[in-house]
A and B are shown apart, each in its own frame.
Chain A
Amino acid sequence: MIDIPVDYDNLISIGSMMGSGGLIVMDEDTCMVDIAKFFLEFTVDESCGKCTPCRIGTKRLLEMLDKITKGKGTMEDLDKMEELCYHIKANSLCGLGQSAPNPVLSTLKYFRDEYVAHIVDKKCPAGVCKALLSYVIDREKCKGCTLCARACPADAISGTVKQPHVIDPAKCLKCGACMEKCKFGAIYKK
């Protein structure tokens, strides 16, 4: 895939397109479901609202993706979503609707396992989808420096000095501020 020449026909053949010629490099920390959602949010915003498939269809796609990133998707949703993608592509009035489902279709094609992980394992492999992850403090590594507790905007971390701290998952906003502050690598995403 890395050898694909950047030209119109080749990009279209793999489900992408030239656009403005820009290229975005992503690594394993980018969730493919989340990135599809990001692109679709753009098209839902940009839809003019004239034709049915784009006006309603892209909104429904976005809702389905949202459901998956929240761990509430089903494998049937995946099929329904794929069908709706092809419908929107073939039926929309203009290029916006006709290309709106591309990010969904190409991520489904090349990263289907990530979708399945969200649906079946209720996990986000990239650790992006907040509903599917939690921050945990490793008792062995924690020195009890209290830095994380002071950085937490939600007062979700408790513990006494020089003792291992704990995160209350009910209060945690999953912002990651604690993990950034920790000097001992004691905080990780699960």
Chain B
Amino acid sequence: MEMVNIKINGMPLSVPAGSTILEAARMHGIEIPTLCYLREINEIGACRICVVEVVGMRNLVAACVYPVAEGMEILTNSKRVFASRKTNLELILSTHNRSCLSCVRSGNCELQKLCKDFRIYDEAIYDGEKPASNYDDSAVHLVRDNSKCVLCRRCAAACAKWQDVAVIGPNGRGFNTHIGSAFDQNLSDVACVSCGQCIVVCPTGALSEKDNTKDVWRALNDPTKHVIVQTAPSIRVTLGEAFGMHIGTNVEGKMVAALRRLGFDGVYDTDFAADMTIVEEANELVERIKNGGKLPMITSCSPGWVKYCEHYYPEFTENLSTCKSPQQMFGALAKTWYAEKTGIDPKDIFVVGIMPCTAKKFETKREDESASGYPDVDVALTTRELARMINRAGMYLPKLPDEEFDAPLGTSTGAGVIFGATGGVMEAALRTAKEWITGESGEAVEFSEVRGTQGIKEATYKIGDLELNVCVASGLKNAKKVLESVKSGEKNYHFIEIMGCPGGCVNGGGQPVQPAAVRNFIDLKARRAAALYEDDKNKPIRKSHENPVVKEVYETYLGSYGSHKAHEILHTSYKKRNRF
């Protein structure tokens, strides 16, 4: 690698040619604060917080985009640099609503931290006219409060460059620039897929999930309600982050303890429903292959992906597995099988989902998702909302004891756990399908080809006489590539797993927010996924069809896989949605 010699704050350093000042400084442990910078997708030098002095240059330069050159002398902490960053912050604050006390991001707001670091004493020093700002709470999953927006454009970059959806972006110009949808339409009126990636990259509280915690508190306080909760596979490896624990810490037991202490009547695991999904979906795949059904079959667990498919690729909705997602299967079974088993009227059962995902909020409102006549799931909360409930209840998660899920809906396998990472559904389905097709029961097999955080993974497995071509994609930009290759006939797959968010649920739009300073340099999705695979490895049962409760549900209630009753309860339908 070609190197150049530079000096930062007087220190002689050798750094790779072509790197930016920010990257070069970081390589040598020198931190430069940023606000708008998001590695690879938003390197635009807009906020001017990362400005540094280059000796001999008239103006300051933005470290995030300015490349190093031989002999360059850089000052990152000079008086002039500090004064500039401070004034830039003061200018931003003059357009900000500064309601930090009650802001959902108070404590992990990047703007707040910078203002503290740069000692902004007079936050009103540049006060003047505020730009007209709108508040959009039209969508089911998200609230946008532009009075908190710093116009870093990170949300727009995530939407366009990770997801290839691009339904939000800067409107207007100059002082009146504001983030919104085309022609300032409401978010509910555009083809937003509800993935929430914009929220997790927002440095402030301008974007946040629509808070449904009050609905859950109300249900918990209602003595006539039997309130049960399910936690998605990935929550156990991310919830700890909201309490300052290391990224990738498995807090399953403490999470269960917290939920029980919040007052839920049953603390259950979506992993159980993931196992149900696998047996239904593997059965559907085998049927489609045997009977010449529509192929490739594509997974339907990710509601962001499903909505994307309905908006942007309606011609593929027949390829979607008709299986409900694990969240919805859980709710459907809770209000049918479980209701019958416990003798509780389904109208009194209140099902809460703790999800890594904002699109799950949308999913609970979908049509054809009410097997018992009542909505399968009443409320879907994100990991962040659960963390807020735990905080409000005065619990400190790291100090809670480890407890176990309740029976029967808390019994799960390793196959269910790995649903939370990209490739997990595929691997879980392969574990079951392989045994069903070959009729051989062996040790739990690991399908390492479909693991990992790459956006698109392909593999071919020889199962019995069948050469099974599979593909795994995560992030909708990658999904688009895969769908286009299928459409053009270039690729010929039997089974495709698609997750709406890059890396799957572990990196979902409902997960704890990590600031850009962490996100830019640590592979969140890999660390969180590693914890899930570790959990799977240690499970006594690692194949969905061997889950004893799954067996019980089929033996005592549904009959066989893919039976008429199973279809009524566990399957759903899709529709074309308008793009404009």
Which chain A residues in 67-104 approach chain B with CB under 8 Å? 83-84, 87, 89-93, 98
* Residues in chain B near residue A57, CB distance under 8 A: 91
- A49 interface residue, CB < 8 Å from B? yes
Interface 0/1 of B128-170, CB less than 8 Å to A? 1100000000000000000000010000000000000000001
In whole angstroms, what is the CA distance A47 to B94 when docked? Answer: 18
In whole angstroms, what is the CA distance A87 to B128 when docked? Answer: 18
Interchain CB contact under 8 A, B94 and A60: yes
Interchain CB contact under 8 A, B60 and A90: yes
Which residue of chain A is the closest to B93 with respect to CB atoms? A56
Interchain CB contact under 8 A, A47 and B60: no
* Residues in chain A near residue B84, CB distance under 8 A: 87, 90-91
- B45 interface residue, CB < 8 Å from A? yes
In whole angstroms, what is the CA distance A59 to B47 when docked? Answer: 16
Interchain CB contact under 8 A, A93 and B62: yes
- The answer, among B46, B58, B87, for a CB contact under 8 Å with A51, is B46
In whole angstroms, what is the CA distance A63 to B51 when docked? Answer: 26
- With A44-B174, A90-B60, A91-B84 known to touch, is A50 a contact of B46 (CB < 8 Å)? yes
- The answer, among B47, B62, B173, for a CB contact under 8 Å with A47, is B173
* Residues in chain B near residue A87, CB distance under 8 A: 83-84, 87
- With A51-B46, A90-B59, A93-B48 known to touch, is A56 a contact of B94 (CB < 8 Å)? yes
- A48 interface residue, CB < 8 Å from B? yes
- A52 interface residue, CB < 8 Å from B? yes
- B120 interface residue, CB < 8 Å from A? no
Interchain CB contact under 8 A, A63 and B59: no
- With A44-B174, A47-B173, A47-B175 known to touch, is A56 a contact of B95 (CB < 8 Å)? yes
- A45 interface residue, CB < 8 Å from B? yes
Which chain A residues in 100-151 approach chain B with CB under 8 Å? none
* Residues in chain B near residue A53, CB distance under 8 A: 48, 87-88, 91
Residue of B88, B175, B177 most packed against chain A (CB within 10 A) = B175
- B517 interface residue, CB < 8 Å from A? no
* Residues in chain A near residue B88, CB distance under 8 A: 52-53, 91
Interchain CB contact under 8 A, B177 and A49: yes
Interchain CB contact under 8 A, B51 and A47: no
CB distance from B129 to the nearest CB of A (A): 7
* Residues in chain B near residue A165, CB distance under 8 A: none
- The answer, among B45, B92, B174, for a CB contact under 8 Å with A48, is B174
Interchain CB contact under 8 A, B59 and A89: yes
- B172 interface residue, CB < 8 Å from A? yes
- With A63-B129, A90-B60 known to touch, is A49 a contact of B87 (CB < 8 Å)? no
- A46 interface residue, CB < 8 Å from B? yes
Which chain B residues in 38-64 approach chain A with CB under 8 Å? 44-48, 51, 58-60, 62
Q: How many A-B residue pairs have CB under 8 A?
A: 85
Which chain B residues in 74-106 approach chain A with CB under 8 Å? 80, 83-84, 87-88, 91-92, 94-95
Interchain CB contact under 8 A, B60 and A49: no
- B573 interface residue, CB < 8 Å from A? no
Interchain CB contact under 8 A, B174 and A49: yes
- B396 interface residue, CB < 8 Å from A? no
Which residue of chain A is the closest to B95 with respect to CB atoms? A56
Interchain CB contact under 8 A, B126 and A60: yes
Interchain CB contact under 8 A, A91 and B60: yes
* Residues in chain B near residue A37, CB distance under 8 A: none
In whole angstroms, what is the CA distance A90 to B129 when docked? Answer: 24
* Residues in chain A near residue B62, CB distance under 8 A: 93
- B176 interface residue, CB < 8 Å from A? yes
CB distance from B78 to the nearest CB of A (A): 12
Interchain CB contact under 8 A, B48 and A47: no
Interface residues contributed by chain A, number (CB under 8 Å): 26
In whole angstroms, what is the CA distance A130 to B43 when docked? Answer: 46
* Residues in chain A near residue B46, CB distance under 8 A: 50-52, 93
Which residue of chain B is the closest to A43 with respect to CB atoms? B174
In whole angstroms, what is the CA distance A89 to B48 when docked? Answer: 12
Interchain CB contact under 8 A, A84 and B87: yes
Residue of A45, A52, A92 most packed against chain B (CB within 10 A) = A52
Interchain CB contact under 8 A, A98 and B174: no
* Residues in chain A near residue B58, CB distance under 8 A: 90
* Residues in chain A near residue B175, CB distance under 8 A: 44, 47, 49, 55-56, 58-59
In whole angstroms, what is the CA distance A52 to B80 when docked? Answer: 17
Interchain CB contact under 8 A, A52 and B44: no
CB distance from B57 to the nearest CB of A (A): 10
Interchain CB contact under 8 A, B92 and A49: no
In whole angstroms, what is the CA distance A77 to B174 when docked? Answer: 23
In whole angstroms, what is the CA distance A48 to B173 when docked? Answer: 5
Interchain CB contact under 8 A, A91 and B128: no
CB distance from B64 to the nearest CB of A (A): 12
CB distance from A97 to the nearest CB of B (A): 10
Interchain CB contact under 8 A, A93 and B129: no
In whole angstroms, what is the CA distance A173 to B175 when docked? Answer: 30
* Residues in chain B near residue A92, CB distance under 8 A: 48, 59
In whole angstroms, what is the CA distance A101 to B528 when docked? Answer: 49
- The answer, among A46, A49, A84, for a CB contact under 8 Å with B176, is A49
In whole angstroms, what is the CA distance A56 to B174 when docked? Answer: 8
Interchain CB contact under 8 A, A56 and B92: yes
* Residues in chain B near residue A56, CB distance under 8 A: 91-92, 94-95, 126, 175
* Residues in chain A near residue B177, CB distance under 8 A: 48-50, 55
Interchain CB contact under 8 A, A49 and B45: no
Q: List 26 A-B contacts (CB under 8 A).
A: A45-B174, A47-B173, A48-B174, A48-B177, A49-B176, A50-B46, A51-B46, A51-B48, A52-B92, A52-B151, A53-B91, A55-B175, A56-B126, A57-B91, A59-B129, A60-B91, A60-B94, A83-B87, A84-B126, A87-B83, A87-B87, A89-B59, A90-B60, A91-B59, A91-B84, A98-B59
A-B complex: 4 closest residue pairs judged by Cβ atoms: A49-B177, A47-B174, A56-B91, A59-B175
New A-B pairs, 20, CB < 8 Å, besides A44-B175, A87-B83: A46-B174, A47-B174, A48-B173, A49-B172, A52-B47, A53-B87, A53-B91, A55-B151, A56-B92, A56-B175, A59-B128, A59-B174, A63-B129, A84-B87, A90-B59, A91-B51, A91-B84, A91-B87, A93-B48, A98-B59
